[in-house]
Structure 1
């Protein structure tokens, strides 16, 4: 069941292809931000290859630049990336039979959009041929697009003038990537609450407003989902 399925691979590549430009553009912006924040080229390269999480990287960079305590930096990155715990829980039943080393590698390469597209294709955990090839066809091009964009941004970081406004371009890119993922009322409520809290808590030190916004958005989405589940079960 885990042998390579070229047809599933090609289908996944075609499905994920429209997202790759936005992923690369977002990686480019994060790469530039790493260099602009004071990281050396080797440090920035290590961060993009080891961390592979744009939101956590951008959340950590201003904290690093301002000399925030390592505990605050670590906690912020962990909270921003908590969604990957949910992604792992959703993917686990599909691939629990694989060796743990292979699952660990798949978890590292998996990203938001790839997981969402996979779960759209395979909403149930029923055994089906081609699942592993389909996931690989989503995650490997996604990872490659991010790394190419990020590495280009790292080497161009010192040469790009601030007036180009790439920060705003990166914001547009991530918005374009995020919108298709807002499926259902709980997700929409989570996004709205997180956005409102981020604006209200903007003045908090060490950029902690982002941390508070993420926690508030997750809590709101989980609360709405719980209420809707109880309403569905009600007679």
Structure 2
């Protein structure tokens, strides 16, 4: 953030307020090239659409919590926490360990993000660009991505996003990111619809076979 021209104080505020690494990595290049504000907002919104899905799934676990606590849960939620939580509590049923588990994971994840982030902001001018540390963020996101590839739909959506991003690379203002997101969402929804139709067809055929027997 500092290397792209942002002041130290503004970078610190962004790190704490915009607690979303992928959104930061997406919009900083846009800010650096002077992209219109609507492009910046739209990019950040599209990148963070996955949190709508996360929240809809978490609602079944935390809907009994007060509104203020649910808003705090929304702020502290993250990809890694979501994956770990769903593996720990795969079935939606009351469990006294769910809230403490979330806050333990969320607190650790928040500190693990903010401490190095703030250190990087304060030491930005001491770290030369030749070290290539910016690629570490890409590697971290790749690690999260690979942990989320659990079925055919996510694999197809990922492949489509990568292909669309490369194909639209020549677009100005990093608009290839928006193209990739839109293509991935469309591909994922199409795959899920096809899989749902196939399951329904299989159930109908099974029911017809049982009736015939």
**TM-score by structure 1 length?**
0.83
Tell me which structure has the larger Cα radius of gyration. 2
**Gap runs ≥5 in structure 2:** 206-213
Structure with the greater relative contact order (CA < 8 A, sep ≥ 6): 1 or 2? 1
| Mapping of residues 142-221 of structure 1, within 5 Å | 142-221=109-188
Q: What CA distance in whole angstroms lies between the structure 2 residues aligned with 1:63 and 1:170?
A: 17
* 1:158-191 superposed Cα distances (whole Å, 9 cap, x missing partner): 1111111112333223212321121111111111
Q: Distance in 2 between matches of 1:172 and 1:51?
A: 20
- Partner Cα distance (2:125, 2:56) in 1: 40
Q: Give the distance between the partners of 2:47 and 2:88, measured in 1 at CA.
A: 26
RMSD: 1.2
Say how many residue pairs are matched.
202
Please list the CA deviations of residues 88-127 of structure 1 after superposition, one character each: whole Å capped at 9, or x if unmatched.
0010111101100000001100101101211122122211
Unaligned runs of 5+ in 1: 1-33
Of 169-178 and 60-69, deviating more is 169-178
- SS class of match (2:127): coil
Distance apart, 1:36 and its partner CA: 0.8
User: What TM-score results when the alignment is normalised by the length of structure 2?
Assistant: 0.91
Q: Contact between 2:79 and 2:144, CA under 8 Å: does it hold in 1?
A: no
Check the 8 A contact 1:113/1:181 in 2, yes or no.
no
Q: Distance in 2 between matches of 1:106 and 1:123?
A: 18
Distance in 1 of aligned mates of 2:105 and 2:32? 34
Q: Which moved more, 1:77-86 or 1:177-186?
A: 177-186
